[in-house]
Amino acid sequence: MKEGSASPTASPAFAVLRAEAFGVQALRRHDPALAGRPVALLTGAGREFVIAERSPEATGIRPGDPAALALARCPGLCLGERNVEAEVEAQRLLLAAALALSPRVEATAPGMCTVDLQGADAAATDTALRRRLAELARAGLEVRAGLAASPLVAAYAARRADATNPVLVVTDPATFLAPLPLAWAEPAPACAELLEHWGIRTLGELTALPKADLANRLGTAGVALWERSAGQGVRVLRLAEPSRTFAAEWSYEPPVESLPPLLFRLRRYAERVAFELSAAHCVADGLALTLFLEDGAEHRREFRLPEPCGQPDRWMRVLQAHLDTVRTAARVRAARLVASPARPPQVQDGLFDTGLQDAPAFWDNLARIAAIVGDERVGTPEPGDSPRPESFRLRPPAEAIPPPAPAPVHAARGPVLRRFRPARPVCVACAGRRPVRIEGSGWQAAVRDARGPWRASGEWWKPRAWAAETWHVELAAGGLYQLARAGLAWRVEGLLD
Partner 1 sequence: MNHPMYVELHARSAFSFLRGASSPEDLIAACARLGLPAIALCDRDGVYGAVRLHKAGEAAGVRALVGCELTMEDGGILPVLVASREGYRALGHLLTTAHLRTAKGASRVAWSELAPASDGLIALTGDEAGPLRRAWRERGGDAAAAAGERLLGLFGPDRLYVELQRHLLPGEEAENRFLVAWARARDLPLLATNGVLHAGPSGRRVADVFTCLRHHTTLDAAGRRLAANGERHLKGARAMAALFADLPEAVANTGRLAERLRFTLGDLGYHFPDYRVEPGETQAGRLRQRAEAGARARYGRAAAAAQPQIERELELIARLGFSGYFLIVEDICAFAKSRGILVQGRGSAANSVICYVLGITAVDPIAHRLLFERFLSEGRKSWPDIDLDLPSGERRETVIQEVYRRYGRRGAAMTANVITFQDRSAVREVGKVLGLSDDLLDRCSRLVGSRDDPSPRALGERLRAAGVVGDQPRLGALLDVCRRLHGLPRHLGQHSGGMVLSAEPLDHFVPLENARMPGRSVLQWDKDDCEDMGIIKVDLLGLGMMAVLQESIELCAQRGEPVDLAHLPPADPATFELIRAADTVGVFQIESRAQMATLPRLRPENFYDLAIEVAIIRPGPIQGEAVNPYLERRAGRQPVTYPDERARPILERTLGVVLFQEQILRLAMELGRFSPEEADELRRAIGFKRTDARLRRMEVKLARAFRDNGVTEAATDYLIRSLASFSLYGFPESHAISFALLVYASAWLKVHRSAVFYAALLNCQPMGFYSAATLVQDARRRGLTVRPVCVVASGAPCTVEGSDAIRLGLLSVRGVRAEAARAAVAARGERAFAHLEDFLARTAFTPGERRALAEAGALNALAGHRRAALWHVAVAAADDDLFRRAAAEGVTGPGNAGAPPAAPLTAMTPWERLQADYATLALTTGAHPMKWLRPHLPGLVPAAELGRLRSGLRVRIGGTVITRQRPGTAKGVCFVTLEDETGHANAIVRPALFERFRSVITLEPALVITGRLQSRDGVTHVIAESVAALGGTEMPVTSSHDFR
The three-state secondary structure class of 193 is helix
Minimum gap (Å) between residue 460 Cβ and partner 1: 6
Minimum gap (Å) between residue 127 Cβ and partner 1: 42
Angle at 115 between CA 109 and CA 117, to 5 degrees: 165
- Say if residues 304 and 125 touch (Cβ distance below 8 Å): no
Minimum gap (Å) between residue 402 Cβ and partner 1: 20
Q: By CB under 8 A, which span of 102-110, 193-201, 300-308, 483-491 interacts with partner 1? A: 193-201
Going by C-alpha positions, the residue among 333, 336, 329, 337 that lies closest to residue 374 is 333
Q: By CB under 8 A, which span of 41-49, 101-109, 122-130, 358-366 interacts with partner 1? A: 41-49
- Say if residues 294 and 276 touch (Cβ distance below 8 Å): no
Write the binding mask 375 to 394 for partner 1: x where contact by CB under 8 A, - elsewhere: ---------xxxx-------
Nearer CB in complex with partner 1: 8/66: 66
Kindly tell me which residue out of 76, 189, 199, 403 binds partner 1, with binding defined by CB under 8 A.
199
Minimum gap (Å) between residue 386 Cβ and partner 1: 6
The answer to the question of residue 182 lying near partner 1 (CB under 8 A) is no
Minimum gap (Å) between residue 397 Cβ and partner 1: 22
Kindly tell me which residue out of 68, 369, 431, 477 binds partner 1, with binding defined by CB under 8 A.
68
The answer to the question of residue 84 lying near partner 1 (CB under 8 A) is no
- Say if residues 41 and 29 touch (Cβ distance below 8 Å): no
The answer to the question of residue 421 lying near partner 1 (CB under 8 A) is no
Minimum gap (Å) between residue 200 Cβ and partner 1: 8
Nearer CB in complex with partner 1: 120/230: 230
Residues 449-468, interacting with partner 1 (CB under 8 A): 452-463
β-strands 380-383, 392-395 pairing: antiparallel
Q: Please, which contacts does 226-233 make with residues 24 or more away whose CB atoms are closer than 8 Å? A: 228/152, 228/185, 228/186, 229/177, 229/182, 229/185, 229/203, 229/204, 230/177, 230/203, 231/148, 231/150, 231/152, 231/153, 231/156, 231/173, 231/174, 231/177, 232/152, 233/150, 233/152
Minimum gap (Å) between residue 178 Cβ and partner 1: 16
- Report how far residue 494's alpha carbon sits from residue 480's, in angstroms, rounded to the nearest whole number: 9
Nearer CB in complex with partner 1: 68/367: 68
Minimum gap (Å) between residue 468 Cβ and partner 1: 9
Question: How many CA atoms are closer than 13 Å to the CA of 15, on its beta-carbon side?
Answer: 32
The answer to the question of residue 73 lying near partner 1 (CB under 8 A) is yes
The answer to the question of residue 410 lying near partner 1 (CB under 8 A) is yes
How many residues are there in the chain?
497
Minimum gap (Å) between residue 385 Cβ and partner 1: 3
* Phi then psi dihedrals of residue 178, to 5 deg: -50, -50
* Phi then psi dihedrals of residue 5, to 5 deg: -75, 160
C-alpha distances out from residue 157 to 21, 145, 232, 400, 404, Å: 16, 7, 14, 53, 63
Kindly tell me which residue out of 118, 165, 175, 216 binds partner 1, with binding defined by CB under 8 A.
216
Kindly tell me which residue out of 2, 37, 49, 223 binds partner 1, with binding defined by CB under 8 A.
49
Minimum gap (Å) between residue 406 Cβ and partner 1: 12
Q: By CB under 8 A, which span of 6-14, 143-151, 213-221, 363-371 interacts with partner 1? A: 213-221
Write the binding mask 425 to 454 for partner 1: x where contact by CB under 8 A, - elsewhere: ---------------------------xxx
The answer to the question of residue 254 lying near partner 1 (CB under 8 A) is no
Nearer CB in complex with partner 1: 63/458: 458
β-strands 283-293, 298-309 pairing: antiparallel
Minimum gap (Å) between residue 259 Cβ and partner 1: 25
First to last CA, the chain: 87
- Report how far residue 45's alpha carbon sits from residue 198's, in angstroms, rounded to the nearest whole number: 31
Nearer CB in complex with partner 1: 208/239: 208
Give strand ranges (E) for 310-359. Answer: 332-342
Minimum gap (Å) between residue 73 Cβ and partner 1: 6
Going by C-alpha positions, the residue among 50, 66, 7, 54 that lies closest to residue 28 is 54
Kindly tell me which residue out of 69, 84, 366, 367 binds partner 1, with binding defined by CB under 8 A.
69
- Say if residues 323 and 263 touch (Cβ distance below 8 Å): yes
Residues 326-385, interacting with partner 1 (CB under 8 A): 384-385
Residue 425 forms beta bridges with which residues? 491
The answer to the question of residue 67 lying near partner 1 (CB under 8 A) is yes
Q: What is the enclosing helix (H) or strand (E) of 264?
A: helix 259-279
Binding site residues, partner 1, CB under 8 A: 42, 45-47, 49, 60, 66-69, 71-73, 79, 194, 197-200, 208-210, 213, 216-219, 384-387, 409-410, 413, 452-463, 470
